[in-house]
A and B are shown apart, each in its own frame.
Chain A
């Protein structure tokens, strides 16, 4: 895009790069907001269908405009700041959540070469940015100066930090196998993993299928989706860390949460299921643009997320911590050893 602004429009290189980057950001962020609105609708519809209800069906055809109506309603409401709240941090918290959910998309490759920032530490960038997500929640809980939000914030912080450890080890094993932190190269490394049946996707390798499942579950915990939604367990904590929020500050949490969910679906698809590659390495399938394959995978994983939300009961908090620290952490740590051991074994007799 830089070359387009540089040669076709005739801007100097620096400005062309600047304009191209801004355009790229808008090109990702604006459709993402639309996608969040539609995915909330999809979530409610899937959930309703599994509970044998009809779900949103009044606003617009099939209720398609429901999310926009909700957005408008929230936008027109008054922003209430509790008198005892810490004003600055109270308003900062939803902005952090929302921003962090958006900045991670900079390194997600949508197609071969279609990525905003093709940096060679892409996966570390994702880890770094997602570790910032804790701050939005913990600050909102503390600055509300209210019991339940604070409990919820502590729960959320402990939960996210715990599962980030497991996610880190899972990602390390993926990085070891594909030999790069760059997401585009991780996707390329998943091309035709079996010599006989050329399937694309790391998870089709039996060594990595357990990792893919663990990553999916950790992603649920990381985004605080059911069955790990203890932070907003309404029977215990009212609405969790967002209890005191209203109007746009509440909407920012809402948008950030769902943007994070889509991001985790995208990461599942990119890291384990071949990203923008079609499922099988077969020439006619490459006619379909890669971005369609990626979206199909994202939507599939979102369906899985909604399915789990509709069917699985909420975890107890000690079970959640046990799963994170006593099951996922040792298993993923062992897998790092296993993967590196197998890689070393495959290299025996081959020059380094």
Chain B
């Protein structure tokens, strides 16, 4: 009972906030709706017993990716009238993608009607009593080790690529030399003078 209520609540909010993401006029509002959608998707994950994935979804997408989105969107100077005129240009692609998604949903529904996936014949059946994190770890670090490492390398390459693209030598700037700042002592920087009465300090 409570599971059903929770499921319909989360699912309804996901769909609603997804719709609001694409229909709200202010891009910052869009990002906020997107965050709400992520959040409720995490709730759905908890309902199916994947609490680790749910937490990761919140940490990675809500905590990091969406913050960057928000950064970019807030800094942009957006001309709303121009945005609306460009809608027509992308309408064909949008409709195509929408149609593709609709077909996929229908295929999924038909496949579901044919019967469930045989869980016992999975590549790596896992004991249901093992906690999420352990189960994932056992799979990632044994059976799928090379794929896991490969995914890590892809991310590393992406990171290096981003640095290479944005890094440039800036001439004429003076960087902080922390070691020199720390090594600087008061007696090197200041001079104690006792001027005679009636005379100033000569610099």
Contact = CB atoms under 8 A, between A and B. Distances in A.
A127 B1 contact: no
Given A14-B2, A132-B62, A142 B74 contact: yes
B62 A128 contact: yes
A121 interface: yes
A147 interface: no
A290 to B, nearest CB: 25
Interface in B55-90: 55-56, 58-59, 62-64, 67, 70-71, 74
Interface string B38-68: 0000000000000110011011001110010
A89 B35 CA distance: 14
B74 A14 contact: no
Given A124-B56, A128-B62, A138 B178 contact: no
B165 to A, nearest CB: 19
B132 A121 contact: yes
B71 A120 contact: no
B63 A14 contact: no
A131 B61 CA distance: 10
Contacts of A181: 133
B28 A142 contact: yes
A320 interface: no
Contacts of A39: none
Interface in A103-150: 119-121, 124-125, 127-128, 131-132, 134-135, 138-139, 142, 150
A161 interface: yes
Given A14-B1, A128-B59, A128-B63, A121 B133 contact: yes
Contacts of A234: none
Q: How large is the interface on A (under 10, 10 to 19, 20 to 34, 35 or more residues)?
A: 20 to 34
A164 interface: yes
A344 to B, nearest CB: 13
A161 B133 contact: no
B67 A124 contact: no
Nearest to B59: A128
Contact of B67 (A119, A134, A150, A322): A134
Contact of A127 (B28, B32, B59, B132): B59
Q: How large is the interface on B (under 10, 10 to 19, 20 to 34, 35 or more residues)?
A: 20 to 34
B98 interface: no
Contacts of B67: 134-135, 138, 157, 161
A164 B60 CA distance: 11
Contacts of B58: 128, 131-132
Contacts of B28: 86, 89, 142
B161 interface: no
A78 interface: no
A121 B59 contact: no
Given A14-B2, A119-B51, A322-B178, A132 B71 contact: no
A126 B92 CA distance: 44
Contacts of A322: 176, 178
B176 A318 contact: yes
A318 B35 CA distance: 30
A89, A120, A121, A150: most-surrounded residue (chain B CB, <10 A): A121
Interface string A25-41: 00000000000000000
Contacts of A134: 63, 67
Given A120-B131, A124-B59, A138-B71, 10 more contacts: A120-B132, A124-B55, A128-B58, A128-B62, A131-B62, A134-B63, A135-B70, A142-B28, A157-B67, A161-B63
24 contacts: A14-B1, A86-B26, A120-B51, A120-B132, A120-B133, A124-B55, A124-B56, A125-B55, A128-B58, A128-B59, A131-B58, A131-B59, A131-B64, A134-B63, A135-B67, A138-B67, A138-B70, A142-B28, A142-B70, A157-B67, A157-B71, A161-B63, A164-B63, A322-B176
Interface of A: 14, 86, 89, 119-121, 124-125, 127-128, 131-132, 134-135, 138-139, 142, 150, 154, 157, 161, 164, 181, 318, 322
User: Which 7 pairs, one residue from A and one from B, show the smallest C-beta to C-beta distance?
Assistant: A131-B63, A124-B55, A128-B58, A128-B59, A142-B74, A128-B55, A121-B51
